[in-house]
Structure 1
Amino acid sequence: MLKLNWDNITILVVDDNTFMRNLVVSTLRMLGISNIVARSSATAAIEALSESRRNPVSAGFATIDIILSDFVMEEVDGALFLRWIRTSKQAPDRFVPFVMVSGAADQQIVEAARDAGVSEFLAKPFSAKSLGDRIVEVIKNPRQYVLAPGYFGPDRRRQDRPTSWSYADDYSQPEKNRRVTEASQIQVVHARSNIRTLRDDVRAIYFRPANRLRDKLGPNALRGQIDFDPLVIQAAENRIQEMVGDYAVWVKNYLDTMARSYKALVKQEEEPKQHIVNINQIAHELRGQGGIFDYPLITSFGKSLYDATLDTRGKVTDNRLKLIEAHIDALRVVFNKQVRGDGGKVGAELLQDIERAVRKYSEAPSAGPI
């Protein structure tokens, strides 16, 4: 393969989970990307980016080429961080490619990221290849940026074709084209155009900046295929598997923390909401991590527990406690017995146990205070 100058690319990694942040950084280094800025929160990332605009020497970097950010974070989440990037006057580059990383890859989450101006979405669990693919995508196929009422970011349409109403969508306007902006109402601004002013009569502006990331990769990026060497990808995958031992330590800590929160809920000695939130956040991390290390059952049980604890305001009933306990017990079995892959007979029995627990103990969410 042609040599590409990956050392010219600087990536910002933002994740409040130390293990996942280190995993992403380690995988990027294995892919040949050495210029990495890592921050433990969106707040810290915003401070660093703001400082880089004022004083690059003090910040330790001048330009961020790609941002990889977790979605679920305390204080400032990934969506708010992305909105700051796209709309704040303090943001050094509103056009920077932004890849959202999350174990919560539900449609609602993906759409929230899209509407905030995301470039690509990477669902956990991820592989070295899927991570590399997202980076290659924002370089090979950069989308135009759209400025329209209520939105600025990469074009949310992947295909250049109109979307029509169906009769079911709106019976009063059958088959009406939902794209109401005409070509005459759009102003296109190219990278090398001489346009210095924006028209007042337009409904949308399309920005088509130069592909500076491809240019940074060097002349070979213009002549050949932009991609990571398959041997490098395999080496990165091997490195991920080598970290399984470290992951086992993290899983034990997660389970111990959840068990403490569960016991506090049983004793009813403290404010229960924070313990439900704590269990929910750990479940979210587990749903995104297990599959990376060939523990898909941890991902499955983590997702189920995450769904079961989404309502943080609901009453802590006996049934709810039994449902949480069933999930923690199942996760401990997977961890203690090192149940990899689908787990065979043991895995099937555990899945059935959780399904029965969900059916038996699930309750309608309550809107009342706890």
Structure 2
Amino acid sequence: MAEPRLNLGKATVLLVQASATELDILGQMFIGFGVKGIRKCTSVEDAEAVSATQPFDLMVVDCDIPDGAGYDFVQRLRRAEENANRLAPIMLVCGHAAPSNVERARDCGANFVVAKPLTPPIVYDRLMWMAREQRQWVEAEGYVGPDRRHKAFGPPAGEKGRRHDDLGLEVGLPIGPDLEQDEIDALMNPRRAVA
């Protein structure tokens, strides 16, 4: 079966990198993916000005901009209700994927964090992941962005869920006899039918 493809021909992407060399490499990578609308910024100030006037389908922001400016840019953008890009998917790129950097990226409202060095297969895989993700949007006092939980396990036992679609952990009564162990084993190890 063929791998699903992502048509990025009409996508507009904002790339924010402090290093001009890394910005060029990242730009070439997205050109290779078929993106025709690329806007490059080497500073957060430029990115803020551009994002206030032009809509983007994706933003790729460098975490390694001095003084945490990349994280702060994402956090300000997520809270800017008048900015059309506040809901755009954001991929943060960092030199070191230390737990503290990943937590900071998660808490500022980014969709995904990718560690350098970047390779086209890794970036494309993360783009596919972000295109398929269906996390809900959360607006709370201390956080604005996609739900930080990647898996919905439902609310803790005995607790009412915070979301309208949270399922309880209550299990219904059995509707038939339990399976025997050999029947369970047969389900786990299917055999070929012999004619």
SS at match of 2:125: helix
**Corresponding residue of 1:18:** 20
Closer, same or farther: CA 157–6 of 1 in aligned 2, 3 Å? same
- How far does residue 79 in structure 1 lie from its aligned partner after superposition? 0.7
Is the Cα contact below 8 Å between 2:51 and 2:85 reproduced in 1?
A: no
- Alignment of 1:132 with 2:119, yes or no, is no
SS of the aligned residue for 2:85 comes to coil
Q: Is the 8 A contact 2:7 2:34 kept in 1?
A: no
Residue in structure 2 matched with residue 255 of structure 1 by the alignment: none
- TM-score of the two chains, using structure 2 as the length reference: 0.75
Taking a change above 3 Å as real, the CA distance of residues 27 and 146 of structure 1, as seen in their structure-2 partners, is: same
- Larger strand proportion, structure 1 or 2? 2
Query: Helix, strand or coil: the match of 2:66?
Result: coil
Please state whether the residue corresponding to 2:87 is helix, strand or coil: coil
Query: What SS does structure 2 have at the residue aligned with 1:186?
Result: coil
Shift of residue 76, structure 1, vs aligned partner: 5.9
Alignment partners' CA distance in 2, 1:136 and 1:84: 26
Other-structure match for 1:100: 92
Provide the alpha-carbon RMSD of the alignment. Answer: 2.4
- Please list, as runs of the form range in 1=range in 2, the aligned pairs for 1:347-366 lying within 5 A after superposition: none
| Misfit runs of 4+, over 2 Å | 1-5, 89-93, 177-180, 185-188
Percent identity, aligned pairs only?
Answer: 25
Q: Is the partner of 2:139 in helix, strand or coil?
A: strand
Kindly tell me the number of residue pairs found equivalent between the two proteins: 163
Q: How far apart are residue 149 of structure 1 and its match? A: 3.3
Tell me if 1:141 matches 2:143.
no
**Are 1:162 and 1:179, in contact at CA under 8 Å, matched by a contact in 2?**
no
Structure 1 segments unaligned to the other structure (5+ residues)? 53-61, 164-176, 189-370
Q: CA deviation at 1:81?
A: 0.7
Q: Does structure 2 conserve the Cα–Cα contact (< 8 Å) formed by 1:12 and 1:66?
A: yes
Point out the structure with max Rg over C-alpha. 1
On the 8 A contact 1:84/1:91 being kept in 2, the answer is: no
Which secondary structure state, in structure 1, belongs to the residue aligned with residue 92 of structure 2? strand
Could you tell me whether the CA contact under 8 Å between 1:27 and 1:128 is conserved in 2?
yes
Q: Write 1 or 2 for the structure with the bigger share of helix.
A: 1
What does the per-residue CA deviation read over 1:38-84, in whole Å, with 9 as the maximum and x for residues that have no partner?
Answer: 1011111001112x1xxxxxxxxx42000000002136611101101
Three-state SS of the structure 2 residue aligned to 1:16 is: coil
**SS of the counterpart of 2:76?**
helix
Any stretches of 5+ residues in structure 2 without a counterpart? 166-195
What is residue 32 of structure 1 aligned with on the other side? 34
Matched, 1:71 2:71: no
Q: Which residue of 1 aligns with 2:107?
A: 115
| Distance across 2 between alignment mates of 1:104 and 1:179 | 39
Q: Normalising by structure 1, what TM-score?
A: 0.41
Aligned equivalents of 1:3, 1:15: Cα separation in 2: 27
